Structure 1
Amino acid sequence: MLGDRYTYDAFNANIYDLLFGFSIREMPISGFIPRIRHFKNHPELLNDEHWLPLNEQYDVLVRPYSTVSERLAMRLIPVPVETVEYYADPRPLLGLDPTKKTIVCYEYPDKAQDNGMIFFKYLVDQHRKHFNIYYIISRSSPDLKNLAGYENHIVFYKSPENIEVVQAADVLCHTHSSSYALPFSTYRTEQFIQEKHKIFLQHGVTGSKDVSSIYGKKLPHPFTNLFVVSSEREKNLIERDYGFDADEIVVTGMARFDQLITERSRWLKRYKNRKKILIMPTWRPKLDTYPDEQFMESDYYQEFQALITDERLKNLVMDNKYEVSFYLHRNFQKFSHLFHSDFVDVVGQDVFTVKELLENHHVLITDYSSVGLDFSLMHKKVLYYRPPVLIGEDNAGESTDLLPGDIIESREALMESLRELKMPKRFKRNLSHIYAFDDTKASKRIFEAMQHHFHL
């Protein structure tokens, strides 16, 4: 079930639903195959670690669990034998200084290109004398090159050291789920993560899309303990809709914006005459679970496929010598091969980092993605393409005057907006309402807030 193409040292997001069915040879009864019920408060959930040998190098964790609708599902997680042995019998490996607090940073297990990486580098550069500081990343990640020079502070995902450093951690600095810190998730490890101090560095400014179902507080097991935001507007939103108390939210700005603001002038001069347009929509819940055929029937696919093959866009490209790239959200990258165009470049996630894509393009077309703010802080034009078929229930209904670009509801209007590639001045003036700072001290503010809140 793992498949031949599965990379064992990477994170495996596959979920297997368990169904029950039977047939009688003499006569058909029904083609319906029911899901197996599994109640959330069932005591068997507390015993969810079932280890089986996979091969000489790996064991596999078979973890049953109850879904939101209380149906039985399971995950299969390959883990190196040496890591399983360490998990059962831990011992010192890294030589951590016991007189120092330990801080661990991470993004997705295979990524190092966002707030987690930037904040990690700041910590190592400024505070390594006073803290044990580590970054978790998979051994096969193409982003390892982004951590060059910091090798002594890297711990490989699914290694015995991965277990050790998380067990020793005083603070977990995460950009997505805090559970990505460990190579597998069980009832025992989830309880373990809950006992740690956690700071959510975020991976985008919250506002355009309601993600409270993922990042809400959810007592008695809060998603995080300290929530980083970029403005008073965002703080009020997180307090009102996500369930966090005011003292659990810190207005510091995002670590990656330090680098963005530092390099803004260079980018604008270097790419002043570039006519490159980036189409970068975000993902949609549930669609990421669809097989290819079902995904191609969705309004999402049909609208963006129609956009990148639109003859009017093609004429704009040819007449003005534009270059257009189309890049799907990480959760939709597996569908990239379904999109095609003879004048738009469909870009895979391993070709460029998001930072490189934003840097190398002059206009961004998105729907709800928070990268719109990153782009606007570089004083570059953002267009929010939101035809009626793409409006989802997870839209937070934000005030349009807080967006750093026009909302476009039709392809006709989009083509007209693309005749001018410069950012309108009115949006430059509004940036302070979305991002409260115009300096390069966000990482410093995050560290000071973390130090104060967790008494480091």
Structure 2
Amino acid sequence: FLDKKKYGVVDNAEYFYRQRLTGTSTVDVMKENKRYFTDRLKNFYLKLANYCIKKEKCVPKFIQYLFAYDLQWLLKVDSLEVLDNTSQLNEFWKVLKQVLDYIDMDCIIDNKYIDEHILPFFIYLKNNHSIITTKSDQSLAIKSGDYIVEEFSKIVLWLDIIEYRRGYLNFSGNIESCFNDKYIHVKLVKESGAKIEEYDTKHVMYNNPKRQTLKYLGINWKYNYNFDTQISVSLNDMLYFKIEYDDGQIQYASIPLISFRESCGLSTSSAYFLKDSIIILFKEGKFNILPYSFKSMLRYEASNIKRVNYDKEPHYGYAIFIHIIYCIMYLFMKNKRIWLYSDRPDFADDNAKALFEYTCNMDDGVSRYFIVDKNSSSYNNLKRINKNIVAFGSFKHEILYLFAQKVISSYVNENFINPFHYFTPSLYSGLITSYRYFLQHGVTKDDVSEFIKKYDKNLSLIVCVSNMERDSFLADGYNFDSHVIQTLGFCRFDKLTSDDAKRQILFAPTWRLELSNEEKFIESQYYKTLKSFLNSEKLKSLVEVTCFTMVFKPHPELNDYIDLLDVPEYIHISEDESYQELFRDSSLLITDYSSVYFDFAYLKKPVIYYQKDDDYHYKEGYFKYDTHGFGKVIKKEEELIDEIHHIIKNECIMEDKYKKRVDEFFKYNDKNNC
């Protein structure tokens, strides 16, 4: 092309931008490989630039545009940890500057193929890392050269939670900004008639990477300021947020723009919500506390419906229908006490089912319903004992969800709970004001703060079985209020029994979140470990000689790949049995990291942890297998089978030291967990 200065265009071809599902594409692995940094800058960018200069006496604009487009992927790398020492780091920055010198500023600023999020950082690097904070009479801004990186007055305050509870309004949210968060303060202003008061918010930290400082090439670039606040409110109060900046030399304040995340009680489609005869209306950047009247509610609903119809987001027509149904049914439903219970949509065999069965016949004015998929075996089984079994995702489920006081579940997955999850849920914000109670489906032993955290899982209760578990939820990263975390015991424990234990071994490994498709699964060490153990001739011989049976209970996510494991016929794959049945019938449990071992250990039956591969997706938490575990940790398949044999020879009796650990861990063992 440099020779002929001509190119041809094919007008009937399709170009597929490929990025492997396995995460092995160049843009995925580049930050782990040294050669994609300094070597790549030298051997691609600089060599091509020098070739152009030799041939053309300059680097042509189209090559500069190519450089700028391609270089953005390198700039997005968060860390330079792959470079081992200061010398390598200095060389990288030196060579990067040489490359940037060959790219004119207009080829960066006017390049429509550069991600808008990386563009300011790109310009900052082009300007030799020059950045200043400047203040005028009208604005505060961060600039790099003449380019405005960010204006303080244009910072958006995102709200995750708006909740009214017993006279208090609770807010959680964050701001993302290039202004250093240590100089930022978020305040809430309350106007009560002529009286104006300012309240500080609480600055909180989260472990989820989405709520931490964004780094490019190891440089802090965009800061995340997360906050919580609670304020008492009265009728006709008006509230709004203010952001202040103070670095000791420059002081500035502004009223931020407000946006709502999906977890919030409001959205651009629903500017109000109604709770306890109070209307909270968002109007012109302020939150107004207003008295309820049905006429006012209808007026606000009409405005919402008009907005939904105007925006025409996906599924907007059905959302309008639901808003109309809500208005029609509100007077009839508003005073009903509706509690919804659920485990997994496809299977009911957990804490919510146990609690529902315990409470469903109580005469306390509460209408209780259990939610489960109509096509699951659990639906008909539950229907035989109680009429209030509702099909997940049905119209009845949707109506009950709109008017529910409490949603009680053993899961926090939105798609397991919310019937509107797949139908643009923001269109229903404001209608749904229920409190959520998390019974858990397993003891939390690891650091799961990247998944379960206050800002998008606004829970009213988290049930724990141990004070150690409770204390872990109070650590940094979760940010739930202390009264939310309570050690009450799991309801399903009341149903556990070991009276009829058989000569049965239960193998119940957990899943690996990163295995999102068949290709990843087959290439994983997890797959190889499972297949090798299940097809072990030594295991088969041991089971046959000792007259035991072997039961394999795959994790629900593993069921999709079960045929790939070639499970031999002598091993029974459990599909329909409940965990309670399996725990009752089994004399020994083998798992890796699955929390099912807590239930089994609760019965003081022996447990083996087969952890050949250190590949579990959650960070290790307070629970240390060597000091807290209820059985041996095994790393090799041969040693695992030897340990199985040893336990069988000892008549599957848990060792005393593990029984002591069970007693120390569980707070209650009295069958009164419900």
What's the TM-score bracket when you normalise by the shorter of the two chains? Answer: 0.7 to 0.9
Provide closer, same or farther for how the CA distance between residues 192 and 259 of structure 1 changes in structure 2, counting only shifts above 3 A: farther
Alignment partner of 1:417 is 2:646 = no
Q: Secondary structure at the match of 2:462?
A: strand
Provide closer, same or farther for how the CA distance between residues 378 and 346 of structure 1 changes in structure 2, counting only shifts above 3 A: same
What letter corresponds to residue 155 of structure 1 in structure 2? V
Aligned match of 2:558:
332
Alignment partner of 1:119 is 2:347 = no
Kept in 2: contact 1:382–1:405 (CA 8 A): yes
Deviation (angstroms), 1:116: 0.8
Aligned match of 2:524:
298
Deviates more, 1:95-104 or 1:133-142: 95-104
Out of 384, 406, 410, the residue aligned to residue 171 of structure 1 is: 406
Deviation (angstroms), 1:382: 0.9
- Listed as ranges, the matches of 1:10-409 within 5 Å are 25=10, 32-33=17-18, 85-86=321-322, 88-90=324-326, 100-125=336-361, 127-177=362-412, 179=414, 180-185=416-421, 186-188=424-426, 191-192=429-430, 195-207=433-445, 209-217=446-454, 219=455, 221-241=456-476, 242-260=478-496, 264=497, 267-268=498-499, 270-271=500-501, 274-287=502-515, 289-290=516-517, 292-342=518-568, 344-345=570-571, 347=573, 349=575, 351-390=576-615, 392=617, 394-396=619-621, 398-400=623-625, 401-409=627-635
Deviation (angstroms), 1:426: 1.9
Deviation (angstroms), 1:293: 3.5
Q: Secondary structure at the match of 1:365?
A: strand
Q: Secondary structure at the match of 1:428?
A: helix
Aligned match of 1:5:
none
Q: Deviations over 1:293-318 (max 9, x none)?
A: 33111110000100111222122122
Instruction: Give unpaired runs (5+ residues) of structure 1.
Output: 1-22, 50-75, 444-456
Provide closer, same or farther for how the CA distance between residues 44 and 376 of structure 1 changes in structure 2, counting only shifts above 3 A: closer
Kept in 1: contact 2:513–2:617 (CA 8 A): no
| Distance (Å, rounded) in 1 between the aligned partners of 2:507 and 2:333 | 47
Provide closer, same or farther for how the CA distance between residues 44 and 436 of structure 1 changes in structure 2, counting only shifts above 3 A: closer
Deviation (angstroms), 1:438: 1.2
| Distance (Å, rounded) in 1 between the aligned partners of 2:486 and 2:557 | 28
Q: Deviations over 1:197-242 (max 9, x none)?
A: 11100001110x332222222x2x4341211101110011111153
| Distance (Å, rounded) in 1 between the aligned partners of 2:410 and 2:393 | 19
Alignment partner of 1:436 is 2:667 = yes
| Distance (Å, rounded) in 2 between the aligned partners of 1:48 and 1:95 | 22
Provide closer, same or farther for how the CA distance between residues 178 and 343 of structure 1 changes in structure 2, counting only shifts above 3 A: closer
Aligned match of 1:12:
none
Deviation (angstroms), 1:92: 7.2
Kept in 2: contact 1:96–1:132 (CA 8 A): no
| Distance (Å, rounded) in 1 between the aligned partners of 2:662 and 2:261 | 51
Q: Secondary structure at the match of 1:215?
A: coil
Deviation (angstroms), 1:88: 4.7
| Distance (Å, rounded) in 1 between the aligned partners of 2:577 and 2:373 | 18
Provide closer, same or farther for how the CA distance between residues 83 and 429 of structure 1 changes in structure 2, counting only shifts above 3 A: same
| Distance (Å, rounded) in 1 between the aligned partners of 2:387 and 2:319 | 20
Aligned match of 1:54:
none
What letter corresponds to residue 637 of structure 2 in structure 1? R
Higher-strand-fraction structure? 2
Q: Secondary structure at the match of 2:594?
A: coil
What letter corresponds to residue 32 of structure 1 in structure 2? Y
Deviation (angstroms), 1:97: 7.4
Aligned match of 1:18:
none
Kept in 1: contact 2:351–2:491 (CA 8 A): yes
Deviation (angstroms), 1:277: 0.8
| Distance (Å, rounded) in 2 between the aligned partners of 1:410 and 1:193 | 54
Provide closer, same or farther for how the CA distance between residues 193 and 228 of structure 1 changes in structure 2, counting only shifts above 3 A: farther
Q: Secondary structure at the match of 1:330?
A: coil
Kept in 2: contact 1:326–1:344 (CA 8 A): no
Q: How many residues align structurally?
A: 379
Deviation (angstroms), 1:417: 1.1
Structure of greater relative contact order (alpha carbons < 8 Å, 6+ residues apart):
1
| Distance (Å, rounded) in 1 between the aligned partners of 2:636 and 2:19 | 42
Provide closer, same or farther for how the CA distance between residues 397 and 390 of structure 1 changes in structure 2, counting only shifts above 3 A: farther
State the identity as a percent. 24
Root-mean-square deviation over aligned CA pairs = 3.7
